[in-house]
Structure 1
Amino acid sequence: MAADMAREVKLWNDKREREMYDNFADLFAIIRTMEKLEKAYVRDVISSKDYEPECTKLIAQFKTLTTSLKDTVPSVERFMETYKMDCPAAVNRLLVSGIPATVEHRASSSDVGTAAAVAECVQHFITSMDSLKLNMLAVDQLYPALSDLLSALNRVPQLPPDFEGKVKGREWISRLRNMGASEELTEQQARQLLFDLDSSYNAFINSLPKSA
């Protein structure tokens, strides 16, 4: 009887169900982390400099994960109700605003357009890289994120036409256009795309002025 009581209770019956619950846990963690981050920023516990990149990363991860979970979690609000999550600040940042508070409230600044474009670029870089890490390799999964990334890069005025991210972005978009929507990248192609994105992201960050 003691052995029965000590037996582990599993929430899943196979690898697919286990992955689903792991993704649920990741979504739960992202929402709770965003709630804590927003409160820390409002209370001046974290500086704007530290807040913005962390917030941008969480937003990008949230978008990537909710895209992959769109069939099992069609409504994030319903997910939060099910797991009794009271996170109004996270809801506002993730579902309503979609950009960090520092960017949102920079409206009086003359470089608001550039600041917003930079924030979008960071989000799309992270979203694209996270998609690959989650094995989202189909053309119709990757093309929208890469297209959005290239559009955002084109809105950053200090980036020249031959900027690495733009060049590689155009090359990959052209390649994906010649494939069917349901076709997937090979392991080698996915690895190369991830490398190109990571290299372009680092070049993008290094190209920004310190104030950005």
Structure 2
Amino acid sequence: MYAERQLAYAPTPYSYTPASTLSATINVDEELKLANNSAERDLYESLAEIYSIIVTLEALERAFLKDSISETDYTDTCSRLLKQYKSNLADDSVARAFGSLDSFKLEWNLEVPRASDRLKIGLPATVEAPSRAPGGQSGGGAGAAATHIVSASENFITLFDAIKMNMLSKDTLHPILVETIQAVNKVTDQDFENKAKIVQWLITLNQMRAAQDLSDEQARELQFDMNLAYDGFKATLE
């Protein structure tokens, strides 16, 4: 009886057809357990959430490039997805199972180049490189411009102080760098000399664990690069 019956199943890359002898022993009313305990179930749910975030972020980046979504909606949605991604990976067991972004994409055959770039930088495109404003400034008048200049300078100084005080963990430096590039972008949209170094260090820090510290050599390189970036920023104000 079972040999004559065609069972429905999802096609697999190996074109596997269930054996008739095996199908006779399967109870279709029995619940299939994918996890042995609640910890495993939470792990699988977190990995599935990460997969969903990556796919959604790729679609969001494509929509933004096609101008199918407003900058405000894009920024809000992208920021939320990046936070959710980081929150899921904050769990050590999830981070171990995830491995790295490249290994996760390879395991699940994900082709998401735009989402990959966004996750490595850790900032929405509108924050990394804001839209151009008339006159190369962010707008808001001379008073607002002066405030933004002071804020950007203070963020650079805060970063330098953190390095000097040997506060070299990702969870200390990354937020300061994010605030620095946001403040700089409010002053000018010019791609000034060595501005790219800020983004490169954001990528480096974004790939570290929260409690991980820069080495002494990396700290010296960060100090040197940010001094160059600060000089380039100040040159745009002259």
How big is the alpha-carbon RMSD for the aligned residues of Structure 1 and Structure 2? Answer: 3.4
16 and 52 in structure 1: CA distance in 2 versus 1, 3 angstrom threshold: same
SS at match of 1:71: helix
Amino acid at match of 1:17: E
Amino acid at match of 2:111: D
Higher fraction of helix: 1
In the alignment, which residue of structure 1 is the partner of 2:66? 43
In the alignment, which residue of structure 2 is the partner of 1:30? 53
In the alignment, which residue of structure 2 is the partner of 1:21? 44
Structure 1 residues not aligned, in runs of 5+: 118-142, 158-180, 182-212
Whole-angstrom CA distance in 2 between matches of 1:154 and 1:33: 28
Whole-angstrom CA distance in 2 between matches of 1:24 and 1:43: 29
152 and 40 in structure 1: CA distance in 2 versus 1, 3 angstrom threshold: closer
26 and 100 in structure 1: CA distance in 2 versus 1, 3 angstrom threshold: same
The list of structure 1 runs, each at least 4 consecutive aligned residues, that deviate by more than 3 angstroms after superposition, is 107-112, 143-157
| CA shift for structure 1 position 21 | 0.2
Whole-angstrom CA distance in 2 between matches of 1:58 and 1:102: 14
Spell out the pairing of 1:74-85 with structure 2 (5 A cutoff). 74-85=99-110
Whole-angstrom CA distance in 1 between matches of 2:70 and 2:170: 33
Report % sequence identity. 29
Which residue, 95, 119, 122 being the options, matches 1:98?
Answer: 122
Amino acid at match of 1:100: P
SS at match of 1:5: coil
74 and 2 in structure 1: CA distance in 2 versus 1, 3 angstrom threshold: closer
Choose 9-18 or 99-108, whichever is displaced more: 99-108
| CA shift for structure 1 position 7 | 2.2
Amino acid at match of 1:11: L
- Count of paired positions: 130
| CA shift for structure 1 position 62 | 1.3
Structure 2 residues not aligned, in runs of 5+: 1-23, 140-147, 152-168, 184-210, 212-238
Which residue, 52, 60, 80 being the options, matches 2:75?
Answer: 52
100 and 155 in structure 1: CA distance in 2 versus 1, 3 angstrom threshold: closer
| CA shift for structure 1 position 49 | 1.5
Q: Does 1:88 align with 2:113?
A: yes
| 8 Å contact from structure 2 (residues 127, 182) kept in 1 | no
**Cα-to-partner distance string for 1:5-37 (whole Å, 9 max, x where unaligned):** 332322111111101000011101110110111
| CA shift for structure 1 position 54 | 0.8
151 and 48 in structure 1: CA distance in 2 versus 1, 3 angstrom threshold: closer
